[in-house]
């Protein structure tokens, strides 16, 4: 669940997703946007594990969130790799057919400790800093969408 905490944002005020881990390398589910009454598929398939010398490679589909340039689904090809102790990074090629939009999202992650992590997410246009508190099967994140709109995200694993 994602909830934008300010009024007047161009973003949907609330969104829900239900994603299940079907295998160690494949997750799939649905996203729901109540404002639009719209459902969208979401999936991610890690097609290659990372090693010391090469990144993990994944294919996926989800809403184009957090981009504010288009709505609808986006397809992505992502490379991700640990780059130092507690640091990792990713780079994606993303295409949103509804807006005929290509973007190059990227992110840098830092694991503070077992319970806390940070991410600086670039959606291809804007930065979105994120602070996440991890517990056993759930996590709670505070995001600043576009660096300005405070948003909460709650995730529960199953």
HEC per residue, 1-56: CEEECCCCCCCCCEEEEEEEEEECCEEEEEEEECCCCEEEEEEEEEEECCCCCCCE
- Look at the chain and report how many structural domains it folds into: 1
Domain of residue 34: give its range.
Answer: 2-156
pLDDT along the chain (158 residues), means of 10: 84 86 94 88 96 96 71 89 96 89 94 96 91 92 91 84
Q: Tell me how far CA of residue 7 lies from CA of 3, 14, 31, 73, 142, in angstroms.
A: 11, 11, 22, 24, 16
Q: Residue 50 in contact with residue 56, Cβ under 8 Å?
A: yes
Tokens of residue 113, six digits: 């400790």
Tokens of residue 13, six digits: 């005020």
**Confidence (pLDDT) at 93:** 95
The residues, any chain, with a CB within 8 Å of residue 57's CB and separated by 6 or more, are: 46, 47, 48, 77, 78, 79
**Confidence (pLDDT) at 84:** 94
**Confidence (pLDDT) at 66:** 62
Return d(Cα 19, Cα 148) in angstroms, integer.
Answer: 27
CATH number at residue 59: 2.40.160.40
pTM, two decimals, is 0.86
**Confidence (pLDDT) at 65:** 63
């Amino acid at each position: 669940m994602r909830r934008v905490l300010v009024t007047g944002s161009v973003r949907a005020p609330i969104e829900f997703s239900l994603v299940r881990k079907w295998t160690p390398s494949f997750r799939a589910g649905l996203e729901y946007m109540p404002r639009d009454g719209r459902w969208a598929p979401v999936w991610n398939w890690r097609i290659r594990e990372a090693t010391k010398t090469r990144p993990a490679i994944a294919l996926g589909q989800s809403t184009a969130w957090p981009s504010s340039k288009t709505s609808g689904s986006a397809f992505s090809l992502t490379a991700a790799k640990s780059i130092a102790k507690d640091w990792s990074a990713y780079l994606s090629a993303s295409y949103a057919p509804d807006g005929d939009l290509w973007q190059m999202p990227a992110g840098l992650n830092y694991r503070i400790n077992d319970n806390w992590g940070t991410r600086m997410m670039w959606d291809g246009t804007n930065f979105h800093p994120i602070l996440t508190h991890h517990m056993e099967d759930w996590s709670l994140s505070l995001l600043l969408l576009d660096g300005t709109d405070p948003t909460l995200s709650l995730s529960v694993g199953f």
